[in-house]
Amino acid sequence: METNQHNLDLEDHLCFSLYACSRAILRLYRPYLDKLQLTYPQYLVLVTLWKKQHCTIKELGEALSLDTGTLTPLLKRMEAAGLIERRRDTVDERVVNIHITDQGHALQEKASCVPQSLLDASGMNEQELKEINKTITQLLHQLNIASEK
């Protein structure tokens, strides 16, 4: 690849644009998550469980791109808060299953304001945001493939 001074401009780095956008979204979400007494990673766990109801720690880690060293303390705090339950699998005790509680389910309707806040603040319609997300997801998939080589 040819080195070109233009390639070194910060505004031309996709990684920086994604990083800055992610930080801006998290700032936008912060007041809503604070009202729900959730951190962003806890919110993502709940979003996953609202759809699946239960899963293993391994499945949750794969869905959220988090390792068990990061997930375990997060899940312990969520269990202490009454949002989830961790249960050893009856067939294989090495497997820990995560189940959402009634208290965790109760937050689903209250949390609808979180993604709505992005839609409202972006000035874009839902379809435009879905297209951006689809493109970013495709890029992530390709980068994961490339990093496995």
Task: Verify that 31 and 7 share a domain, yes or no.
Answer: yes
Q: What is the pLDDT of residues 76-134, one digit of tens each?
A: 999 999 999 999 988 998 999 999 999 999 999 999 999 999 999 999 999 999 999 99
For residue range 36-46, list pLDDT tens digits in order. 999 999 999 99
Q: Are residues 45 and 72 in the same domain?
A: yes
Mean pLDDT of the chain: 93
In a domain, 106, yes or no: no
The alpha helices in the chain, defined as continuous H runs, are 14-36, 40-52, 57-64, 68-80, 102-110, 113-122, 126-148
DSSP state of 97: E
Query: Range of 124's domain?
Result: 1-38+111-149
Average pLDDT over residues 13-24: 95
- Name 25's Cβ contacts closer than 8 Å, sequence gap at least 6: 118
Of 80, 75, 84, 77, nearest to 103 by C-alpha is 84
CB 56 within 8 A of CB 98: yes
pLDDT tens, position by position, 19-33: 999 999 999 999 999
CATH number at residue 55: 1.10.10.10
**Is residue 49 included in any domain, yes or no?**
yes
SS3 41: helix
Percentage, residues of the chain above pLDDT 70:
95
Whether 60 is in a domain gets the answer yes
* pTM for the predicted model, two decimal places: 0.89
